[in-house]
Amino acid sequence: MTTVRHKLFLMGASLMLVSGGVITIAVLPVQAATITANVKQGEKVGSVEMPYTLVTTKDGPQRVYWESKAPQSLTSDQINDTDFVAKFVSDYPTLGNLFQDPGLQKTLNELMDKVNRANRQDSLIDFVVSTSDDNGLSASDYAKRIVQSITQQSWIVSRLAQYKTNAKTFKEIQKDYQENFRPLIEALPDDEDGNKENLLQQSDFLFNTEESTLDTNASRFISMFKTGMFLSSYSDAQLAEIDPDASAAQMSQILQQPLSKYLHPQADGTLQIDGLLLSGLMAYSTIMPDPIVPNPTPTPDPNPSTSQAVTVKYVDQQGKALAPTATLTGKLGGAYHAQAAKIELPGH
């Protein structure tokens, strides 16, 4: 039976490996922020959204919840109700099994506590590094690894699905593998756990061999990936549309967001933690995202337009002219300054 092991992104980092029927999902923190959300520092977390996989298509972003029949969020009161949590875990074992160590209740409480104490305008990577026991990687290294991992997952599952749906031939996929994907794996740094070597061996087994090997194993590996990505409801045709470059670009943008981006104000004045944090930032895309364009600093107009002339009249209470009128012009939106006229009145 396929076993799915999932680590919260707060707890560590690893590449996605497929070995012996076990899928380990990459769970890596993120990089610096450039966008802020309307979240005040003093607001407290009152609920946590349940984990989901993000899939972006031409129809927009879609949240595929890992347990579709479960409530989409849990409140702080529910999380701290031991009887409620026990029944929740029993009713929805998919979520209960994923968070059985250290337990769903403790996991969610620790996450809420860390968010409550964090600076909401800090980047997500700053939040992760400051609350993680594993500080061996820099923010840029974490960001690089998670983008690499998403690229690898997206390439493998999309190419397997493209083969099964006859969208691409074995020769086309093998050529793409040899010229593009394998060099990406070879460029990865070596590690003590042998992740790079394992990934190379598994990838070569599927894509750098005879077509009969891929034909025999494609369906099994697609099934494993669907389980690991929590996309069991997706057809092979839908998986075939996943774009590795688009997924990497989307993830790069996700990594730019501040912690406040993942905190959603609720009607009762509390905040809800986005379920993407619980999923380990599991996100894929079929289309390239629009670029994030920062708000530019306005450039002064070298040739400012002038407004319609303003006429200044000097009259007495009966409307009789006391001095010649004056006409003023200036830059649109600018201030007008009229000087007091020197008026000579008869008998004064």
pLDDT tier for residue 281 given thresholds of 50, 70 and 90: confident
Residue 324 lies in a domain: no
pLDDT in tens, 98-122: 777 678 888 899 889 999 998 888 8
Residue 326 lies in a domain: no
The average pLDDT across 12-41 equals: 37
| Enclosing domain of residue 84 | 3-285
pLDDT in tens, 151-196: 999 999 999 999 999 999 999 999 999 999 999 999 988 877 788 8
Q: Which two tokens stand for residue 184?
A: 């990406």
pLDDT tier for residue 135 given thresholds of 50, 70 and 90: low
Structural domains in the chain (count): 1
The average pLDDT across 321-330 equals: 70
Residue 106 lies in a domain: yes
More confident residue, 228 or 192: 228
Residue 34 predicted with pLDDT over 90: no
The average pLDDT across 3-16 equals: 30
Residue 312 lies in a domain: no
pLDDT tier for residue 21 given thresholds of 50, 70 and 90: very low
Q: Is the link from the previous residue into 102 a cis peptide, with omega within 30 of 0? A: yes
Q: Please state, in angstroms and rounded to a whole number, the distance separating the CA atoms of residues 300 and 282.
A: 44
Assess contact for 38 and 261: CB atoms under 8 A: no
pLDDT tier for residue 96 given thresholds of 50, 70 and 90: confident
Residue 307 lies in a domain: no
Residue 206 predicted with pLDDT over 50: yes
pLDDT at 56: 96
Residue 242 lies in a domain: yes
Residue 1 predicted with pLDDT over 50: no
Residue 32 predicted with pLDDT over 70: no
With a pLDDT cut of 70, the percent of the chain lying above it is 72
More confident residue, 292 or 19: 292
Residue 208 predicted with pLDDT over 50: yes
pLDDT tier for residue 204 given thresholds of 50, 70 and 90: very high
More confident residue, 194 or 46: 46
Residue 328 lies in a domain: no
Residue 323 lies in a domain: no
